Structure 1
């Protein structure tokens, strides 16, 4: 029984990271449909953080009240920066870019996040790289493989695979491609790229903040409040003369707002912090490529996006790269445990000699 409970405890971060990818994949497809129906990305971002703050605040007051550390000016500045990136820069650039590119492309671009997060974590000395260790090489190669798999999904478009539920998608695809100006597509690519770089920095920054402010629910509320304040300014600036953008209808737009506010900005952000506290930012972002596979499958049903052999092959490559990274992280943890055990044994001996 103890072995079973121990196994479940060890599996929790892995299961949570996989679940987060399913939730994120669902958001991309739902948001794409809502954006196609005319939803404003800026108003959407504002509303979702309003929902997140309202939903999570009672839990933060209940569970974090006695263990919330004092707020210093340095910590306030870090949280303000984190909130600006997570609740303003990332959603506004990503969902504005999503208007001009496909869901699979946008989520595939996010597969650069593990490589960038690994790089930033190494810069901030949160991730060890020792070229004498096989595990370090496995992390580097695994990260490169996941990015390569994502690029395969993006650029290898033929041959296409036809299924019963994608019939008629060819004509829809060609008409939408003709309608979308190449300049708008380029704009979408740039915006999604900015979002991915910001996401990488944000994951590392969130891990740093949680070390000195280890109250995930309260941090989620504070980040959401930053999104409400700064998002209001941006939404008013962009949609001041468009009253229709502020109206809420009982359709996919409302579903996208509630889904993102409750499950993404609320629950997922908190769970993401818990996983990072346990395993680190690089571990969490290593699972990002799974979203590409999930979105490719869901999009073929939801928006009749055509699957290609490149997407299937890319998905397999991504999973292989992910396995390499997770194997390397497991090896690193085992080596660190052994090193800590040796130091713990050696410490009392040193004290007795003194």
Structure 2
């Protein structure tokens, strides 16, 4: 039974990553057809819960960071780049989470031990991969010209535009993804703090999504979004909103909050590379998105850096556990009565 409990966080994160993969693919499809970002965020998060005053103050800021702002930036990034490329930025979340966790005391680094050195090396490798993703796009790796007949008209018009405008949109998408990555990393830190003060994942997720929906709706109305944009026009938009709201927001947020409580923020964020792998397997043959050399090189560096960091974290955990057991053994011997 104990071994089964130890595997539950792993299985939960794999299921969450597959669910998020499907969310990204559906998002790219409806955004490519012209759906408004803020309208989608509002519909996705609108699962009205019963509010409790005790935790409103704790979760309002979490809703801004993890629900409203993060999703808006990632939606903008996915629209202007691709689902697979956006997932590459998600892979940076564990390393950025680790860096942010240091001043809060959630993570430690001992440069004298092997685990601490691995954490530092993994961080630098991941940052190098992030720079490659941001600054180097590279040549395309696949010929998608034979897919043109199946690509929606909106996508064909965007591909037929000027290369300068395409490059500008790509740059905007990269900046948006960088901002979304920073906000999401901070959300893991914030969620770790909230989980200690209010460990009820279902209630906290319900309240956070309610706040997020209200914040996105207010932002959408204040920016002058056309009222016709709030009407879901086809089955794909309805399916995407329902799936993203029920699975992508509610169930995945509950699962991630539970995993943060069980194994910590870095463990939870460590499964993000699975989303990119799954997205790539669907993105290229189904949505006919192009894959560039810079994306592959940068993604590989980010993954290598990520798992070097995780290896270092595992070494630290093993060393700390051994030290703790040794101290407990010594204390037990000291407390034994002398014969």
Q: TM-score, normalised by structure 1?
A: 0.81
The separation in 1 between residues aligned to 2:43 and 2:140, in whole angstroms, is 41
Identify the match of residue 277 of structure 1 among 240, 261, 268: 261
Which residue in the other structure is 2:180 paired with? 195
Secondary structure at the aligned position of 1:333 is classed as: helix
Corresponding pairs, count: 332
Secondary structure at the aligned position of 1:161 is classed as: coil
Is 1:21 paired with 2:6? no
Consecutive unaligned residues in structure 2, runs of 5 or more: none
Which residue in the other structure is 2:217 paired with? 232
Which residue in the other structure is 2:80 paired with? 100
Which residue in the other structure is 2:203 paired with? 218
Q: Is the 8 A contact 1:114 1:143 kept in 2?
A: no
Q: 1:299 to 1:176 in 2, by over 3 A?
A: farther
Which residue in the other structure is 1:265 paired with? 249
The separation in 2 between residues aligned to 1:159 and 1:255, in whole angstroms, is 31
Consecutive unaligned residues in structure 1, runs of 5 or more: 62-69
Q: Is the 8 A contact 2:74 2:176 kept in 1?
A: yes
The alignment's C-alpha RMSD in Å is 3.2
Secondary structure at the aligned position of 2:30 is classed as: helix
Which residue in the other structure is 1:140 paired with? 120
The separation in 2 between residues aligned to 1:179 and 1:310, in whole angstroms, is 19
Q: Is the 8 A contact 1:100 1:184 kept in 2?
A: yes
Q: Is the 8 A contact 2:94 2:306 kept in 1?
A: no
Q: Is the 8 A contact 2:64 2:212 kept in 1?
A: yes
What's the CA shift for 1:309? 5.1
Q: Is the 8 A contact 1:152 1:313 kept in 2?
A: yes
Is 1:326 paired with 2:303? no
What's the CA shift for 1:125? 0.7
Q: 1:36 to 1:180 in 2, by over 3 A?
A: farther
The separation in 1 between residues aligned to 2:17 and 2:110, in whole angstroms, is 29
Identify the match of residue 47 of structure 1 among 3, 27, 43: 43
Q: Deviation per CA, 1:66-116, whole angstroms, max 9, x where unpaired?
A: xxxx965xx643321111111211112221333322223322222332221
The separation in 1 between residues aligned to 2:80 and 2:139, in whole angstroms, is 22
Secondary structure at the aligned position of 2:186 is classed as: helix
Which residue in the other structure is 2:138 paired with? 157
Which residue in the other structure is 1:64 paired with? none
The separation in 2 between residues aligned to 1:84 and 1:340, in whole angstroms, is 39
Secondary structure at the aligned position of 1:131 is classed as: coil
What's the CA shift for 1:180? 3.9
What's the CA shift for 1:151? 5.2
Secondary structure at the aligned position of 2:80 is classed as: coil
Q: Deviation per CA, 1:97-154, whole angstroms, max 9, x where unpaired?
A: 3332222332222233222111110111100111112112222323433454455566
The separation in 2 between residues aligned to 1:349 and 1:204, in whole angstroms, is 39
Which residue in the other structure is 1:86 paired with? 66
Q: Structure 1 residues 276-285 or 185-194, which shifts more?
A: 185-194
The separation in 1 between residues aligned to 2:93 and 2:66, in whole angstroms, is 14
Is 1:121 paired with 2:108? no
Secondary structure at the aligned position of 2:245 is classed as: helix
What's the CA shift for 1:176? 5.4
Q: Is the 8 A contact 2:92 2:302 kept in 1?
A: no
Q: TM-score, normalised by structure 2?
A: 0.84
Q: 1:226 to 1:351 in 2, by over 3 A?
A: farther
Q: 1:221 to 1:282 in 2, by over 3 A?
A: same
